[in-house]
Amino acid sequence: MTTATAYPVRKQAESLLTLAGADARRFARHPLYLLAAGVLLFSLVQGVVAKKPTKIGIEETLAPAFLLGVFGFVVAHRLTTSLRRTGDLAETAPINGQRRTAALCLACLVPMTTGALVVLVQVVAAAVWPPTLPGGHVAWFGDEPNTAVWGVLIGDVVLAALGGPLLGVAVARWAPFRGSALLGMVVLTSVAILAQVVPSPWYAFSPWVIFSDAHVVGGEYQTSSILDAVAPLWWCGYAACLCGLAGVAALLRDPGHRGRLIASGAAFAAVGVGFILVAVS
C-alpha cells in the first residue's frame, strides 16, 4: 500500500493542487514559454500602439495558436520527460506517477489562461480601434455573428493553448523516446495543413481549423470572412472534448482508476462526435 492510497481524500487533493502549483510555476518560468509570451506581448503592444490590435480579424489566431499551442506542446513535453531524466529524485516523492501526470495536466492551465488574456486584450482593444479592410467586410464583430467570432477566438486560441500542452504531456507519457517532441510537432502541424484539402466540411475533424477566408490582391487583404461550412461555437465543444481526451490519455499511462478514465474517455469521444456532427450540419 502506498502512502497515497492511505492518505485521506482531502489531503490527496491538497497535495495534488500543491504539486500542480509547483508545475505551473515551472511552466511559467520555462524559457520557451517566456519567449512565446514575450513575442505575444510585443505583438499586442505593437498593435495597440499602432491602433490596429487586429488588422485582419480572426486570421490573426494563427500566431497565438502557434506560440501557445505548439510552444506549449514542447514545454509540456520537456517538463514531463524531465521526470524521467530525474527519476531517482522524482521517485522519492510520496506521490504516484498518475498524480504527477495530473499535476502536469493542471499546469497546462497556464498557457490556456495566457490565451484567454490575449483574446480579451484583442477584443477590448479592437472595440476601441476596430479592424478595417479596403473591401469593407472583416471577419470580426460587427460584420460577422458574435457567436461565430467568439467561437473562433475560443477554439483557435484558448483551446489550442490548452490542447497543445495536454497533447505534449500525453505524448511524453506514452512515447518518451528521443525525437517524440519533434515528431509530435510535425504531425500536429501536418494534420492542420492537410486538413485544408479535405472536402468541406469534414476538415473540421482537424484539431485546429482555419475558419477564415480572405480575398487578397497584390499581397494586401481586401476582405475577410468566416466560412459558414462549420459552426465555430459547436466546433469549440469538439475541441474541448479533444483536450479532455488528451488529458485522459496522459493519465491512462499509469495504473489506477482505469475504469473511470476509460469511461471518461468514451464520454468525451461520444460528446465530441456529437458536437462535430452538429457543427458541420
Give the residues lining the site for another protein (CB under 8 A): 32, 62-63, 66-67, 70-71, 74, 77-78, 178-179, 181-183, 185-186, 189-190, 193-194, 197
Q: CA 274, CA 83: separation in Å to the nearest integer?
A: 37
Q: What is the nearest approach in angstroms of another protein to the Cβ of residue 214?
A: 12
Q: What is the nearest approach in angstroms of another protein to the Cβ of residue 183?
A: 7
Q: Point out which residues pair with 212 in neighbouring strands.
A: 226
Tell me the backbone φ, ψ of residue 201, rounded to 5 degrees. -100, 15
Q: What is the nearest approach in angstroms of another protein to the Cβ of residue 70?
A: 7
Of 74 and 110, nearer to another protein (C-beta) is 74
Q: CA 227, CA 211: separation in Å to the nearest integer?
A: 6
Of 66 and 268, nearer to another protein (C-beta) is 66
Of 172 and 248, nearer to another protein (C-beta) is 172
CB contact at 8 A, 156 and 58: yes
Of 102 and 153, nearer to another protein (C-beta) is 153
What is the DSSP secondary structure assignment for residue 205, as one 8-state letter?
G
| Residue 101 identity (one-letter amino acid) | T
Q: CA 93, CA 177: separation in Å to the nearest integer?
A: 24
Of 156 and 244, nearer to another protein (C-beta) is 156
Q: What is the nearest approach in angstroms of another protein to the Cβ of residue 169?
A: 15
Of 194 and 266, nearer to another protein (C-beta) is 194
Q: What is the nearest approach in angstroms of another protein to the Cβ of residue 180?
A: 9
Instruction: Annotate 33-68 with DSSP letters as a single string.
Output: HHHHHHHHHHHHHHHHHTT-SSSSGGGGGHHHIIII
Q: CA 202, CA 248: separation in Å to the nearest integer?
A: 25
Q: What is the nearest approach in angstroms of another protein to the Cβ of residue 59?
A: 10
